[in-house]
Structure 1
Amino acid sequence: MGNSSKHVCGICNQTKEDGIHIYQLYICRVCEEEILSIHPKDDNYQYYVEKMRAINQITYTI
């Protein structure tokens, strides 16, 4: 694991090592894959939309 660091995912709120940063929002690999595959008619679609809106809020407060 070496220099890996852990971050709290802004979507699932779990601490993970593998993921991406979009501006100041960290998204774990599991949530990233879910976001990329979710369909607008899925039950969880609105949940992910709301969580991703946090990117706008973070960007405006920097």
Structure 2
Amino acid sequence: MMEKLNGETCIICEQQKQNGFHLYTSFICIDCEREMVQTDTDHPLYKFYLQQLSKVSQKQILS
């Protein structure tokens, strides 16, 4: 689900963007999402995307 937000910082491009989505507690802009899904695994940017995605933090639910 895409959300219109008041400018959040994308964890991939590290820029303020209006449109994107949340993955756990991190924000990914729609532009980066489009680029990531079109990038081949042998492209040099693929490793960069993996590195940036490693910043995604997961909220843990404690029971």
> What's the TM-score, normalizing by structure 1?
0.81
Q: Counterpart of 2:55 in 1: which secondary structure? A: helix
Give the share of equivalent positions with the same residue, in percent: 28
Q: CA RMSD in A?
A: 2.0
The runs of 5 or more residues in structure 2 that have no matched partner are none
Does structure 1 retain, via aligned residues, the 8 Å contact 2:21–2:30? yes
Greater fraction of residues in helix: 1
* Matched-pair contact (CA < 8 Å) for 2:24–2:59: no
The count of corresponding residues between Structure 1 and Structure 2 is 58
Matched, 1:59 2:55: no
Q: Offset of 1:15 from its aligned partner?
A: 0.3
Deviation >6 Å, runs of 4+: none
Counterpart for residue 19 of structure 2: 18
Q: Give the Cα–Cα distance (whole angstroms) in 2 for the partners of residues 36 and 48 of structure 1.
A: 10
Q: Distance in 1 between matches of 2:23 and 2:5?
A: 18
